[in-house]
Structure formats: structure tokens, C-alpha cells
Amino acid sequence: MANTKSAERRMRGNERKNLHNRRILSRLRKLEKNYRQILTAGKKDEAVKALRDVASAFDKAAKSGVVHKATASRKKSRLTIALNRVKQVSTQS
């Protein structure tokens, strides 16, 4: 429990920020999961569009400080590599 008025205000602000950040993280996880499902289904055209959406969402989350810039960069890189693998496999077949 907060002892001062400023601590109470700080708690209220922290709660709002926590809800905001959780909402963004939840959306990121959903977008990434959806993208991976599209990849496993082998829908390359849809996967390219989904990758664009996921990458954009990660960039926005990094810009606002919800996720670290390096984390966003690493995830985007790995998702792109996964797409390239699927493309590579389909061209070899």
C-alpha cells in the first residue's frame, strides 16, 4: 500500500502502463503465432503479408519501449529466416 499521495499516483500510472504493455505483448504473440501457422500451411503469399504486419508491430513496440530494440530485431530476423526456408524448400521441389 502506498504511503504518500505521489506514491498512489505512481501506482495508478504503473497499472495503466502495465495494461497497455500487456495488450501490446498479447497482440505481438497472436500475430507471431498466426504467421507461423500460415508458414506451416505453406501459404507463401499470405506469409509475406503477415511478416510485414508482424515486423511493423515489433518495430512499433520497440519504439514505445514495450520490447527492447534488440529483441524486436532478433524476432524479425528469425521470422524472416523461417519464411526464406519455406520459399527455398518450395523452389527446390
pTM of the model: 0.87
pLDDT of amino acid 93 = 62
Q: Is 4 exposed, middle or buried (0-12, 13-18, 19+ CB in 10 A)?
A: exposed
pLDDT, tens only, 61-82: 999 999 999 999 999 999 999 9
More confident: 93 or 20: 20
Enumerate domains of the chain plus CATH numbers.
5-92 (1.20.58.110)
d(CA 56, CA 76): 9
d(CA 82, CA 93): 17
d(CA 72, CA 55): 8
